Structure 1
Amino acid sequence: MIADLPDESRISDGRAFLVCKHHRRAGEKKPSHSHPDGQIWVVREGLIAAQLDGENWILPQGRIGWVPPGIAHATSTYSVASVWTGYLSAELCHLFPTKPTVFRTTALSDALLDRLTGWSANSRMSSATEERLLLVLSDELSKSRMEPLCLPMPRHSGLLKIALLIVQNPSDSRTITDWAVHAGISERALTRQFREETGLSFAKWRNVALVKRARELLSARLL
């Protein structure tokens, strides 16, 4: 079991918003912890997995994750990833949902985050200006909420490579035989081990990924 770490504030100088850029290595993990600040993950490249509220979220490129203050969470990186992590002072967290939420990035949200990042670095902007920008960001994100992609990931390196490729492109039409060859294992071993490590058959797991991706695309068209 992952041990919880104590609450730790990332904002110590009175700023309303602080952004840190991370280049995370494959296999990098952060144990369960929480913050008195709100936290925003912006996945620029690759993908990360987050464990919170009893779920395993997969956040691929182009997704934004929001974690309210006090919510314990852990993260894992399955491939090289570029992630922006923003910390929002508790006083302004009322602008965002009270529960962990996933959003789709948009041109406007990207521009707002870029602006906030620049100002966050030098801490020159007034709190009133920060709050106005965060209010616009909150409004933009509210229009791009998404259902989290909740999937257990396998541990075996060959199976993990398959899972990552499917998450990135669920419509990949390769058969289970093709995937077994790709992973360098037998079809029987793939079937057995995938179920053992994820609790789902390979076909069921892939179907869940495909259905959730279809929902994302439908949601994007309706926005």
Structure 2
Amino acid sequence: MNLVSDAMAWLFAPAQWQGAGALSLLLFQQLYLTAIPIAIAALIAIPAGWTIGHTGHGREIAVAISGAARAIPSFGLLILLVLLLGVLHKPAAGGITFVLLAIPSLLAGAYTGCEAVDRSVIDAARAAGMSEWQILRKVEIPLGLPLLVGGLRSAVLQVVSTVTIAAYVNLGGLGLPIITGIALQRYDMVLGGSLLVALLALALDALLAAIQRAVVPKGARAAS
């Protein structure tokens, strides 16, 4: 119990929110190191997932890639990329690691969202004279959006928690007090930093859960 109280005292101490290593700055770095890889991964995975979900081609490859990418140890990949790219390219190594971590969930959310649409709805859209592009844009994407946001939600949680290891290669973020605390045997710092990462993850999850509920089409919401 003393460790918890010490961690809370460290976390809320005014000194921790001031200066070059302020927790507010580390929090911003954590969000930045999460947002940029997620955006890059979305540009790669979402169009690919929509294409796979609409055409049905390449699903087995997408499932295999997603499964293999999830099995890669992120810390080991980060260190490997730092060694391959060199110490001067640590940001690139970190970015590639987090992009690869985000792609599987986004890819799965995109193609399962299209696949989940009732085939009778798609057949009705074709019978009404819609082109394949119109079916994708006006039918499959809107109806599959909740599953896509679910994939985004999973990707964000994976990346924001894993970004903590970026401090091992001096990229900043909320992992810095955790790593520093371990080295100094300051376990109040370790627990305080861990609590802050957990609270950030919970806040982002709650926000994305609300967005996921909001993007459910009105017709589907009324039917359910």
Q: TM-score, normalised by structure 2?
A: 0.28
Structure with greater Cα Rg: 2
Q: Which has the higher contact order (CA 8 A, sep 6+)?
A: 2
Structure holding more helix per residue: 2
Q: TM-score of the superposition, structure 1-length normalised? A: 0.28
- Which of the two has greater strand per residue? 1
